[in-house]
Amino acid sequence: MRCRPETDFPERFLDTEEVELFVDKGPARRVVVESARTHQNLILLKLAGVDSAEQAGLLRNYLVAVGPDEVVDMEDGYFHYELEGLQVFDEAGTEVGTLVEVIANPAHEIYRIAGPEGEMLVPAVDEYVLSIDLQQARIVIRPPVYAED
């Protein structure tokens, strides 16, 4: 199957013996990697039990990840999966909502937060993201104020 890497370390897929398959935040399914190689900007994986193009097609919208024991430590920053699902509060301690998605962007990431007032997009920069506490499962932000027309 062809995989588009969304990692800074795509070479990990060439050495791993197993990967985890995820779809729609469901439980992971571990699968043995029979072979792996690169082709242009893709990783080509041969997974155990996936023996035809039709079987690979059934995995089209799955995310493929290395196992948790192979995750590279981040020197500064966070993995998206660590942030998604955290509760978000403003400076006064009022709950704003839940971080539902980290959106990759060339300049900086953007946090999509869903709350009772609807959704908001917050640039993931120090001006707006004041603190992230994985132990407490919370993020404190200064919500951006946009000019009215």
pTM recorded for the entire structure = 0.60
Query: Taking the CB of residue 64, how many other CB atoms lie within 10 A of it?
Result: 21
**Which residue has better confidence, 104 or 120?**
120
Report CA torsion sign: 24, 25, 26, 28: positive
Tens of pLDDT along 33-83? 999 999 988 899 999 999 998 998 888 888 888 766 666 665 667 777 789
CA 144 to chain centre: 23
Residue at 14: amino acid letter = L
Confidence of residue 136 (pLDDT cuts 50, 70, 90): very high
DSSP, residue by residue, 5-63: --SS-TTHHHH-SEEEEESTT---EEEEEEEEEEETTEEEEEETT--SHHHHHTTTT-E
Residue 81, SS3 per DSSP: helix
CA distance 53 to 5: 20
Q: Which domains does the chain have, with CATH numbers?
A: 2-70 (2.40.30.60), 80-141 (2.30.30.240)
pLDDT at 68: 64
